[in-house]
Amino acid sequence: MATAIEKSHSLKEIDLSYNQITAVGAQTLASVIEKSASLQRINLGNNQITDEGATALAVAVEKSASLQILNLTQNRITDEGVKALAAAIEKSASLQAIFLKCNRITDEGATALAVAIEKSASLQSIDLGSNLITAVGATALATAIEKSKSLGHHRGAIVRDLVGCEVDHLK
């Protein structure tokens, strides 16, 4: 499948959610994402990608000129994987939305994402619902959103996407 995706010049979206994709599969997909000139959206939600796979995908996010939306909902990703993704978000010229709902992200990961949000020129939406983020991480995110050129006008969406993270009082 990876070869077919890589050779396609018209494939824009892939939904591989609810499979059993592990870090090894994510690494293979990452090399394809890097090389694809047409792939805009990839849904990898509800798999078993973990930090190792997230780190591989982060390299692809940084290098891809076409990827706009990446869904990594419910993939056992912790702060380690999120830090790699945050570094890629900072540098990505194309990523507009990332879904990280239902992972194991704490205030440490939220703070890394806050730095990325502030520096990103393209990110417009981030879903962090149902993680382990407290008011400390939410405050860092809110401050970054205020300063963000790309996310600043989407303030309501980001706060709504933190529901389930002990920050409902920020709405």
- 105 assigned to some structural domain: yes
Half-sphere exposure of 76 (CA within 13 A, CB side): 11
Distance of alpha carbon 92 from alpha carbon 72, whole angstroms: 17
Per-residue model confidence as pLDDT tens digits over 91-122: 999 999 999 999 999 999 999 999 999 999 99
- 24 assigned to some structural domain: yes
Is residue 147 predicted with pLDDT exceeding 80? yes
Per-residue model confidence as pLDDT tens digits over 44-72: 999 999 999 999 999 999 999 999 999 99
**Cα-only R_g, the chain:** 15
Token duo for residue 17: 């959610």
CATH code, domain carrying 8: 3.80.10.10
Q: Which DSSP state fits 1?
A: -
pTM exceeds 0.85 for this model: yes
- 171 assigned to some structural domain: no
Q: Which domain holds residue 158?
A: 2-166
Distance of alpha carbon 57 from alpha carbon 73, whole angstroms: 14
State the total domains in the chain.
Answer: 1
Distance of alpha carbon 34 from alpha carbon 47, whole angstroms: 20
- 108 assigned to some structural domain: yes
Q: How confident is the model at residue 163 (pLDDT cuts 50, 70, 90)?
A: low
